[in-house]
Amino acid sequence: MQIGARLLEGPGPFLMGVVNVTPDSFSDGGRFAAPEAAVAHARALAIEGADLVDLGGESTRPGAPPIPAAEEIRRVVPVIERLRAGGFTLPISVDTSKGAVARAALAAGADLVNDVTALSDPDLAAAVAGARVPVVLMHTRGTPADMAARADYRDVVAEVVAELGVALARAEAAGVARERVILDPGIGFAKRAEHSVALLGRLGELRALGRPLLVGPSRKSFIGALTGAPVEDRLPGTLAAVAACVLAGVELLRVHDVAAAGQAALVAAAIRGAAAPAGPR
């Protein structure tokens, strides 16, 4: 897939580094809210080995309130402009569910839209289709304010596959080319710990949708539920999830700790390659 100036080719794994330009994100809220701090962090992630960075101006943690598009643009666009003016060449993803924010970010130099609502807003779908850029469609239910109450499934994997299939059809109906779509099962979004674990254990079932997968297990609440670790101590659990994703063939991983995740991903990819069936003799 072509994302900006970069062609992501082959099985990966490719690493998407997280840059939260917010005062209230669940893991690093406020640390990179100032544009200069966010720019420095994006550059540091590139040095660590990120293949692209994901810039978000609105927290999507459980219970987070929505913010106006104008405020989200005020947080995100100056960072993109400074990165591009300074020669930053990695693809930049904008994490937004608003059409106005996507248009402003793409005009400033972003290359991809990462939407946690899977283009539920027709204006965002129109913006993505019009710009002809790649898009990540993530599974969730409801909004950050009420998604925890909507974590009710008979078979979480089957239902996520079905609902992502609906989202993919919605994107295509809006004019988004299928080959520009990446799918994300939405670890921790409208999902309890057991749901996230089930999804990570059965990622292969999402292959029925025929699109590359992005998974974001980094520092998520399921790790805390399993281990009791607070957010700042969830790196070991994150690396275990990263390895599981790579062994399942996931192409893209959204992570905070790029260098550590990159090492875990490389080892897991080598094991995956070694375990592949031998070709015909």
Catalytic residue IDs: 220, 254
**DSSP letters spanning 123-142:** HHHHHHHHHT--EEEE---S
Q: Which two tokens stand for residue 4?
A: 């900006």
Interatomic CA distance for residues 226 and 236, integer angstroms: 12
Find the Cα–Cα–Cα–Cα dihedral 246, 250, 256, 260, rounded to 10°.
20
Which neighbouring-strand residues pair with 182?
Answer: 136
